[in-house]
Amino acid sequence: MGDLLEPEYFAERLKAALDIKNRELESLGLKTYEFDPLYKRYMELANILGSRIIDTSSLINSELYKDGKKILFEGAQGMMLCIDHGTYPYVTSSTPSAASVPVGAGIAPKWINNVLGVAKAYCTRVGEGPFPTEIHDELAHEIRERGHEYGTVTGRPRRIGWFDAVVARYTSRLAGINNWALMLFDVLSGLDSVKICTHYELDGKIIDTPPSTISRLARCKPVYIEMKGWKEDISDIKNYDDLPQAAKNYVRKIEELTDVPVGVISVGPDRTQTIIVSSELKDF
């Protein structure tokens, strides 16, 4: 990638990009930028970062083919924010699915051999869009405060809902999830009962997958099962077998409804507050 740092090449690309951006800024009545100061600043950064700019696809493939190393890819956002399969237009600009990793990283699909689906023990959503399992009463506020469910940048409170097995099954199907990592499990401690959405009711019919249009999803009503909660503090528990029986019942019901085993359980914010349930994940 060294050609990107050649002054003539870089200057040409910067001028072209700056011309477009300045016209956009000018149309909005915003400040435009001069070429020379930007060019100088970027070249200063190039001298610092240049040696670290490489062809990452080549590097990763080399590690996979030659050395047989394990490589961990981390995604972001949730499946319902996928631009192709999410609640459009309330989505992000890409796909959070594990299926996007080969394209983004420049590797072959065959190298994706274990997908860990990260899910909260309850559901949250930021901003607008249908949210069938949303909780609207004081309990939502209680869970929000316990889980510190506020936007990292904006501080905006997140919407709170019960675990949605309909969305979890859908996510598993699209991403090929091998195990769930069930996060913020401790937040549900102390509740008399907990709920899991098993299906949706849409216009009088029971469905087990999200409908294809946003208007139909907005009409969906959750079909719940209600389970006994647990009062015990689980934040110091290290082994799955030591969890309260009601907590283990909740985990097993999620596994049953999604047909995906729970491999990791988080019982607190510290890295030591992680219970590894699946033996195949202990090496990661």
Contact 217, 211 (CB under 8 A): yes
Q: How big is the CA angle at 271 (ends 266 and 276), to the nearest 5 degrees?
A: 50
**pLDDT at residue 1 greater than cutoff 70:** no
| Number of C-beta neighbours around residue 194 at 10 A | 22
Torsion of CA 257, 261, 263, 264, to 10 degrees: 0
Per-residue model confidence (pLDDT) at position 260: 96
> Tens of pLDDT along 9-28?
889 999 999 999 999 999 99
Question: Using one digit for the tens of pLDDT, what is the confidence trace for 187-214?
Answer: 999 999 999 999 999 999 999 999 989 9
Return phi, psi of residue 37, to 5°.
Answer: -60, -40
Question: Average model confidence (pLDDT) for the chain?
Answer: 91
Mean pLDDT score, 239-265? 96
As a residue count, the chain comes to: 284
Q: How confident is the model at residue 283 (pLDDT cuts 50, 70, 90)?
A: low
The helix or strand, by DSSP H or E, that contains position 42, with its residue range, turns out to be helix 35-49
**pLDDT per position as a tens digit, 25-59:** 999 999 999 999 999 998 888 888 888 888 889 98
What pTM, to 2 d.p., does this model score?
A: 0.82
Written as six digits, the tokens of 84 are 């192709």
DSSP states of 158-176 as a string? PEEE-EEHHHHHHHHHHHT
Q: Which residues contact 54 (CB under 8 A, 6 or more apart)?
A: 1
DSSP 114-174: --EEEEESSEEE-SSS--TTB--SHHHHHHHHHHT-B-TTT-PBPEEE-EEHHHHHHHHHH
CA angle 122, 126, 128 (to 5 degrees): 120
Supply the pLDDT for residue 47.
Answer: 84
Question: Residue 162 — φ and ψ, nearest 5°?
Answer: -75, 160
